Each structure stands twice: as C-alpha cells, then as structure tokens.
Structure 1
Amino acid sequence: MVTVRRATTAGADAVWAVLADGWRLPAWVVGAARVAAVDRTWPVVGAQLRYGIGGWPLVLPGSAEVTACIPGRELALHGRTPFGGVDVRVRVDDAPSGCVLEITEDVVSGPAHLVPARVRAAIIGARNVETLRRLALLAEAGTP
C-alpha cells in the first residue's frame, strides 16, 4: 500500500463536498477522463460509478464501488480497470487551519499486480501527490 498526505486550508466539509459528488471524480483523480454514471446513493457503501480512463480517442472503461464510508471523514473504493483492481482509501482529518488529506492505494489484482511493488509504489505515489493537489484545490475553491 502507498500512502500520500497533504495539508490544505480547506475545511473537512469542503473536501467532503468534492468526495461526495461522484460526478466530480475526473476533476481530482489523475487518469479519470469522464464519468458515465453515478448511483443516486453515492457515496453510501455499495454505490457504484462508471468512468473512463485515459484520454480521447483512447478511453478505457473503469468502475468504482464504495466499500466504506464515514461521511465527512473517509471514503474507500474498490476500482476495476482493464489494468486490474485497486483499493483506495481517502481520509480527511481536521487540522488547526484546515485539514490533512490522506490517500492510500494499491493494486490488488490483474495485470498491474505483476508490476514489481517498488515500481508500482513509485507510480502510485507520484500519481496520488497530484491527485491530492487537485482535491485540495477544488475544496479550497469551494463548490462550483
């Protein structure tokens, strides 16, 4: 598992507003191109969304299912892509002037699981530094 943390001046409620809106996933998740469908119950456990991975004209199908949810604090997903399954957990912890974001992710199945752990960790870590940067910027800007 790879864990990345980032402090933001946004409050936990502002971050949660982004996480709780499945339609905004491509705005903060690096590699997500667009959302095709979001269950009306998002982000309760079992809710799913379908999204595209990559860039036009090559957009591959992906999906995610909520595996755990503590409103305002934590969202865990199991994602399925042509490259394999991934488990992702985003935590939001209060801090004196905003909050601290934490994302933990790893590939759990499929072809990407064959990539050596050190290489996977480097790729996932770099990707999630940018993912948390985007999430923080969206939360700091407020709801569109």
Structure 2
Amino acid sequence: MVEVKFVVNAPAKQVFEVLADGWLYTNWVVGASHIRDVDAGWPEVGTRIHHSVGLWPMTIDDTTEVLAVDPPRLLELRARLWPVGMAAIRLELSGDETTTEIRMTEEITGGPGRMLPEAAQALMLAPRNTESLSRLADLVLGRAA
C-alpha cells in the first residue's frame, strides 16, 4: 500500500466538496483525461465516474466506483483501468476549521500491476498521488477564492 499526505489551508468540508463533484475528477487525478459521465448521486456508495485515461487518441475507457463514504472525512474508491489493473484508493481528511490533512492510500488490487513489488509500486504511485493531491488542493483554494 502506498501512502501520501498533503496539507491544504481549508476546512475538510471544502475539500470534500471538490471530491463530491465527480465532474472535477480529471482536474485533480493525474492520468485521467476525460469524464464521459457521472452517476446520479455521486459520491454515494456504488455510484461511478465513467472516465478515460491517457492521451487522445490512445485512451482507455473505464470507471471509478465509490466503495465507502463518510462526508466530509472519508472517500474510498475502486479505480479500474482494465486490462492494466485495478486499485483501491482511500482519501481521509482530518484537521480543523482552517487546515486539512489529506491522507491518500492506494493499493493495486487486480491485474498485472498487482505483481509489482511494493517498492516498485511506491516509485510509480507516490509521485503521481502527491501531484494529484497538490492539484486537489489548488482546486479547493481556487473555488474558495
């Protein structure tokens, strides 16, 4: 499991508002390139974002599904990128009324990527996820401005 943390100068409620807008997913998730649809009720358990990954015209269409949610503190997702693999992602928000620590954990749970040693997964996922959280923080602060 790969874990990264990022601190944003905003309350968890504001961070979660960005997570709860499925149409913003490609604005903060590194690698996601296009949203095709967002299920009504996102981010309720079982709802999905239908997205594409990669650079056009070499994109793969797949989905990310909500496994658990506890606004404004927790969002657990299953991201698919078949046939490459599948990942479990957990976003935990903690802090006070002015600052939120975002803790993101990701584990490859299916497909060939699961065969990679944890150290190799960390080399691949930690920089990507740190950048994703930086983008998420920028969206939060931009919406608040």
Query: The TM-score by the shorter chain falls in which range?
Result: over 0.9
Deviations 1:108-129 (A, max 9, x none): 1101112222111111111111
| Amino acid of the structure 2 residue aligned with 1:25 | Y
For structure 1, the residue ranges without an aligned partner over 5 or more in a row are none
How many angstroms apart in 2 are the aligned matches of 1:117 and 1:52?
A: 26
Q: Is the 8 A contact 1:106 1:124 kept in 2?
A: no
Q: With structure 1 as the length reference, what TM-score do the two structures score?
A: 0.94
2:114 alignment partner, SS class? helix
Aligned structure 1 segments of 4 or more residues deviating by more than 2 angstroms: none
Which residue of the partner structure matches residue 72 of structure 2?
72
For structure 2, the residue ranges without an aligned partner over 5 or more in a row are none
Q: Is the 8 A contact 2:10 2:97 kept in 1?
A: no
| Amino acid of the structure 1 residue aligned with 2:21 | D
Q: Is the 8 A contact 1:87 1:106 kept in 2?
A: yes
Deviations 1:67-96 (A, max 9, x none): 000011111001111211100011111246
Q: Percent identity?
A: 35
Q: With structure 2 as the length reference, what TM-score do the two structures score?
A: 0.94
How many angstroms apart in 2 are the aligned matches of 1:70 and 1:109?
A: 25
Question: Is 28-37 or 114-123 further displaced after alignment?
Answer: 114-123
How many angstroms apart in 1 are the aligned matches of 2:47 and 2:131?
A: 25
CA RMSD of aligned residues (A): 1.4
Please identify which structure carries the higher strand content.
Answer: 1
Which residue of the partner structure matches residue 33 of structure 1?
33
How many angstroms apart in 2 are the aligned matches of 1:14 and 1:8?
A: 10
How many angstroms apart in 2 are the aligned matches of 1:95 and 1:28?
A: 23
Deviations 1:91-110 (A, max 9, x none): 11124631111100010110
Count of matched residue positions in the alignment of Structure 1 and Structure 2: 144
How many angstroms apart in 2 are the aligned matches of 1:103 and 1:116?
A: 19
Q: Is the 8 A contact 1:12 1:72 kept in 2?
A: yes
Which residue of the partner structure matches residue 98 of structure 1?
99
Q: Is the 8 A contact 1:6 1:100 kept in 2?
A: yes
Deviations 1:41-65 (A, max 9, x none): 1001111111000111111112111
